[in-house]
Structure 1
Amino acid sequence: VPNFQRGQRHRASEGLMLAGGKGINVARALKRLDVPVVATGLAGGGTGTQIVEALTAEAILNDFVRIQDESRTSTVVADPAGGAFTEIYEWGPHVDEEELAILLDKLRYLSRGADFVVFSGSLPRGVDEGFYAEAIRDLNRRGVPSVLDAEGPPLRLGTEAEPFLVSPNQREAESL
């Protein structure tokens, strides 16, 4: 949106729908580097279906747990004239214990053939802040290295679980 101004009506000069998020972006980058990758996580509602279809169209193997609640969407308004962008994030879906247990089982299964498992992004509502830490400890017991890219308490707790690699940005690192 050229010359974007808050509180004004604008017409976008261009629009783009793209499956995204830290984990999906990691999978996309690995695919482009010809590194075998399977994207997994939680996908709900029509948005979740769009995510799965987009990854499949990009030939990125994926195996998501379908959840009851709708996956979140995010909107980025980019102003090419000023070089600024505004990000608007919906609250993520609520995930119940059964859905999370299915995801953990899937992670255990998929990790048997993995060189690494990457945990990234914010946790959905209803998921304990120690989720990444619990999963990392489980992988450590089974000899599977993990990578963590998160923020706040999930980053702090996950780091305490001793992942192979932690990938915070400067703001996230300073919060530790």
Structure 2
Amino acid sequence: MIVTVTVNAALDRTLTVPVFQIGYRHRSSEVLTLAGGKGINVARALKLLDVPVVATGLAGGRTGTRIIEELTSEAILNDFVRIAVGSRTSTAVVDPTAGTYTEINEWGPEVTTVELDMLTDKLHYLSRGADFVVLSGSLPRKVPTSFYADTIRDLARRDVRVVLDSEGEPLRLGAEAAPFL
């Protein structure tokens, strides 16, 4: 089994808008809404490959509820920590005429130390039977950039192999913690 961790889960909305122009009013020809965030996308891909997977992370507010409902409707096993502040929404505009893709991502919720501790406890539980834990994506506000590095070291002490997929300082610090990949 693989556990995917999405600390900054999102509800991804993709609007298809032919001949999109900044500063004008448009109507989308198509709207696609999915649970998102890099770890959730990894879980979705693993599910399609028939690899046993559990998606976890942080989910808050109505948006968080919708993320969990979307995953459940896709038959992706999930076990998220519910947080006080609502999860983020990401919006993308695809213009098939010009072949462009514009993405607007919210920063995400402010997360408390207690909520992060709850996620760590959940990872201890879920990782017991896991072949891998995948830490993936950005970190929301108030989450220390060392979170992935600290988690990698913590799980390594429990003989859990960790895969890291992030960017910037969380990736740099996480790589120093020597993940499996």
In the superposition, the TM-score normalised over structure 2's length comes to: 0.90
| 1:68 CA displacement | 0.3
Alignment of 1:4-23 (within 5 A): 4-23=20-39
Identical aligned pairs, as a percentage? 73
Give the distance between the partners of 1:18 and 1:83, measured in 2 at CA.
Answer: 22
In the superposition, the TM-score normalised over structure 1's length comes to: 0.93
Match of 2:112 among 93, 96, 100: 96
Give the distance between the partners of 2:84 and 2:125, measured in 1 at CA.
Answer: 22
Give the distance between the partners of 1:160 and 1:47, measured in 2 at CA.
Answer: 34
Q: CA RMSD in A?
A: 0.5
Alignment of 1:1-176 (within 5 A): 1-165=17-181
Give the distance between the partners of 1:153 and 1:90, measured in 2 at CA.
Answer: 19
SS at match of 2:33: coil
Q: 1:172 maps to which residue?
A: none
| 1:140 CA displacement | 1.1
Give the distance between the partners of 2:105 and 2:160, measured in 1 at CA.
Answer: 32
Number of residues paired by the alignment?
165
Letter in 2 for 1:138: D
Deviations 1:108-134 (A, max 9, x none): 110001000000111111110000000
Moved beyond 2 Å, runs of 4+: none
Stretches of structure 1 that go unaligned for 5 or more consecutive residues are: 166-176
| 1:82 CA displacement | 1.1
| 1:91 CA displacement | 1.9
Letter in 2 for 1:72: R
Stretches of structure 2 that go unaligned for 5 or more consecutive residues are: 1-16
Give the distance between the partners of 1:27 and 1:163, measured in 2 at CA.
Answer: 19
